[in-house]
Amino acid sequence: MSARRLLQLVLLVQASAALGIALAAIRWFDAGPWAAAALGCGSVALVRLLINMNNFVLAAFFASPTPPEFRLNPLRALHLLAEEFRASMVYTSWTMPWAREGLRVHAGSAAVPVLLVHGYGCNSGYWAHLLPRLDRARISHATVDLLPVTADIEHYVAQVERAAEALRSATGAAQIAIVAHSMGGLVTRAWLRRHGSARVLRVLTLGTPHFGTGLANFGLGVNAAQMRWKGGMPCDWLRQLDADEDAPRRALFTSIFSHHDNIISPQTSSLLPGARNLAFGGIGHVALGRNPRILDAVMRELAALKTGDPLPA
């Protein structure tokens, strides 16, 4: 099943639940229409908030120590939760249920084309906040929808290969850059292992569990099993992926991550030896795709490829 269809079903279930609660409030408590509607929608939103909060609780069991400079006061911690909740609601209720992979070419642009690879349970709608920035910078780009949702990560390699070649063919570029979120970074590494890195100038990963995450122990699918961090170490698939990479391959990567990621835990799992690692704080996992600080960092990295300047400090 595709993430788009799955999320449409989730929306249908949520709408049915909200309607049922509203009708019950009218029938049993003589609530007015507006009060009943607010109760129905509010109940669904509360469940979604509790799910988000539970992710933070689970992540705390596997968390790596937070460096002193990234520690949060209560107000900033509340902002972290609110931003993550808002991001998850926007993505799962608005951008991803209707998204389809696409290709946008800016004729005559000197910028390196970018392939966008989403993460677990998502689709190309995850990039809704980055795409306008790419367009303003006249950066040609393509998105890929990884199917099905719970497949083996190796299964997605052919889909990335197809999308990468379509982007290169449409733009005439010899090399592309890749921006990947979460599991998408592992898919990209698996693709590079199979097809080599001659066609890739740079890979930016956002919140990728390069060495696994404890929350994958609760996930469904072959891909979740391949992202597991258990007993203080990554699973066999991740260890083999690590062993198959050399220094030149790792030097292609910039790993952008948050010390407060609520899905990738331990958060230092995103630290990739030999890569350029950029640490942030106060940002949740889903919010990485729309947080202005993260998007600014992505655009700076891509701009350096266009100009040939050294990567920003």
Residues 6+ apart with CB under 8 A from 264: 59, 182, 207, 208, 209, 213, 215, 257, 270, 285
Predicted pLDDT of residue 312: 63
Strand partners, 204: 179, 254
pTM over 0.85: yes
Quick one: pLDDT band at residue 85, thresholds 50, 70, 90?
A: very high
Predicted pLDDT of residue 313: 59
- Helix, strand, coil share of the chain (percent; to 5): 55, 15, 35
What does the CA dihedral 224, 181, 156, 241 come to, rounded to 10 degrees?
Answer: -70
Q: Tell me the two tokens of residue 105.
A: 């070419």
Q: Strands 229-230, 141-144: parallel, antiparallel or unpaired by DSSP?
A: unpaired
Predicted pLDDT of residue 1: 75
pLDDT tens string 41-58 = 999 999 999 999 999 999
Residues in the chain: 313
Quick one: pLDDT band at residue 143, thresholds 50, 70, 90?
A: very high
Closest CA to 120 of 60, 63, 64, 185: 185
Predicted pLDDT of residue 286: 98
Residues 6+ apart with CB under 8 A from 4: 96, 97, 98, 99, 100, 123, 125, 145
pLDDT tens string 190-234 = 999 999 999 999 999 999 999 999 999 999 999 999 999 988 899
Average pLDDT rounded to a whole number, residues 82-107: 96
Predicted pLDDT of residue 198: 95
